[in-house]
Every structure is written in structure tokens, then in C-alpha cells.
Amino acid sequence: MNIKDIAVVDLFCGIGGLTHGFIREGFNVVAGIDIDHTCKFAFESNNNSKFISKSITEITAIEIEKLLGNAKIKILVGCAPCQPFSSYTFKDSEKKNSEKWKLLYEFQRLIIETKPHIISMENVSQLINFKKEPVFNDFIKTLELEGYFVHFEIVNSPEYGIPQNRKRLVLMASKLGPIVLIPKTHTKKNFVTVMDAIGELPPINDGEFNPKDKLHFARKLSPINKLRIKATPYGGGWKDWPEDLKLECHKKNSGKTYSSVYGRMKWEEPSPTMTTHCIGYGNGRFGHPEQDRGISLREASILQSFPKDYDFFDNADDFSTVMVARQIGNAVPVRLGEVIAKSIKKHLSI
């Protein structure tokens, strides 16, 4: 089997984290599809692949088949928007967005209609426990009825060399025989740490960017938050502050459980999970280990295992930090894309 005989389409592609992992492993990702048109520049400029801005509910089998063409092996991959399956959403059933979890059924529809040889789906680990609606079980049963060998597991990202504590569900299925993820590549003895990932980046102040890299930008802190981070010791958080700096909510019993907010990362450990609010100092343990600021956009992207030269915007003088942070937080880590791609190569004996 020659890898040139394989074509891949990435559904819910975003800025191309999963796609980039496949491309680094030599696959031809012919197109990425996402409803968010703001992802077009980053996806196309880094991946030499076509971006289609369209809702998956509007995509037809004919369109997918045209993209995959006459490839001998056809692969469909993707990550349906995961907010409906998150821990936060689980806690409040009224916040569930049924339209979004139905996107997994749309993914299922396209699999049934296009019959790719191999599929892969990445999502939050809580999807397995989604009891309100049998979306995940339906997905698996449908694949098995369609003749797929199905494998899924919860991946602990540091065990595959990702410098971030991030547990994700990875499902793989193949019509060609049993398929599994490659063995874990790292243990606690050699996890990729925050220091390994971003330790060499030049220092910057909050509200400033590095002149050689405008993505290396840290959000400006308010005067009170500047005092708070200065009062935060290495690896510490708001519990280390003097009383006059603490928020009223943290003084209540209900607020004492949120120990990670306003925290600093540790150099010698993987980072916390990158979210769409990952450059907000008060939104998690997103404080820089040493510098008095939150992490920069570039640091967040590297912790998501994007290459240090990945381009996120066309005009460096006019871009939205909120938009880029959202794109980075929503992305599949590039390294996880590589792991999935390597697993498919092993399955196909390439």
C-alpha cells in the first residue's frame, strides 16, 4: 500500500490540528470542512489543503465522494464540537444544546452514505458517560452494523508526548480489520513538560507581544490582577494571596473548590488543559510559571503541540486575540493527530 493512494477528509477541521498531524505523517488531506469561516486562513496556509466553510448538516455524500475521488483507501476523520458533552454541560441539563450533539449523528450519516474504509473520531472523554441521549452507543452500533471493526479508548495526552494534561476519547474504525492506537510513547519519567515546550520563548510583559512573533502576546492584566499574580508563588494560586486580594466568591465554601483558577503553571509538569479561554489568567491555571502574566497565544498553541511557526492570521496588525484563543482551545492537538495517523499507517502496514 502506497500512502499516495489514500485520501482524507477532515470534518469539523477548525484551524487544522488533526489535519496537520496527518500531513506530518505524509497523508493527503484533500479538504477540511468547518462552519467557522474564520479558520480558513490558518487551515489552508499551514496545510496546503482546501477549506470548505459549510455546516456538516448541509454536506452531502456526493460532495464527500467528489473530494475523496478515486483513492484506493478513503478516510473520514473529525471532532464534533464537544461542548455538549463537557463536564460543565453535564452539571446542568438545561444547558445541553441538542442541536450540537446531533452533529455526531450527522457524522454518522455521512459514514453510512459514503462508506469510507477507515474513520476516526476524537472527542471529550465524558462522551462515553452521556446517559441522557444514547448518542455514543448509537454511533458504535451503527458502525458495527456497517461492517466496521471499532476500537475506542480514553487517551491521556502526556502519554503520547503532548505537553498538556488532556484526556480525550479517540475512536477508530476500519472495514479492513481490527485497528488500535499505537502503544503509548511516554511515561511520567519522560513526559513533555511546560519547560520543554515553552521554556525557550523570550520573556514578554502582559499586554505586550514579541516584535518577532505577534502571536507571542499576553493579555493585559487589570491593576488588581497584576497585584494578584505578583502575590502568586511558583505553582500556587489564589489561596496563597492575602485576604484583601481574594475575590468574595473564593471566601465562600462554594468557591473554595475552584483551586486552579488564578494559578501558575509548573515548569516540570505538563500544562493544564488548554481551553477557549486559555490566555485568561483568571480562567484556570493559566499563569506563566515565572513571569507576571497569563500565557501568550503562542505558548497556548505550542502546548497544543502546534509547531512554533504555525500561522494563525493573515494580517499581524489586525487580529482578534479572543478569536485565536478560541481556535487554539477548540483544536485537536497536532501530536494527537500524528498518533492517530501513525496508528492508521500501522494498520495498513505502510
pLDDT, averaged in runs of 10, over the chain (350 residues): 94 97 98 96 96 95 96 94 49 48 86 97 80 76 96 96 96 97 97 98 96 95 96 94 83 59 95 95 94 98 97 81 95 97 96
Residue numbers annotated as active site:
82
80: which 3 cell numbers? 464534533
**Three-class DSSP category at 124:** strand
Nearest to 276 by CA among 300, 292, 293: 300
Distance (Å, rounded) from C-alpha 265 to C-alpha 179? 36
Q: What is the pLDDT of residue 85?
A: 45
Could you tell me the strand order of the sheet in which 149-156 lies?
A: 50-53, 29-34, 6-11, 73-78, 118-124, 167-174, 149-156
Gap between the terminal Cα atoms of the chain: 6
pTM here is 0.91
Domains and CATH numbers, the chain: 3-186+333-347 (3.40.50.150), 194-329 (3.90.120.10)
Query: What is the amino acid identity at position 244?
Result: D
Nearest to 48 by CA among 12, 18, 14, 16: 16
For residue 244, the tally of other CB atoms under 10 A from its CB is 8
Q: What is the pLDDT of residue 197?
A: 98
Is residue 206 within 8 A of residue 295, CB to CB? The reply is no
Nearest to 106 by CA among 17, 173, 35: 35
CA dihedral sign, ordered 262, 265, 266, 269? positive
Is residue 179 within 8 A of residue 344, CB to CB? The reply is yes
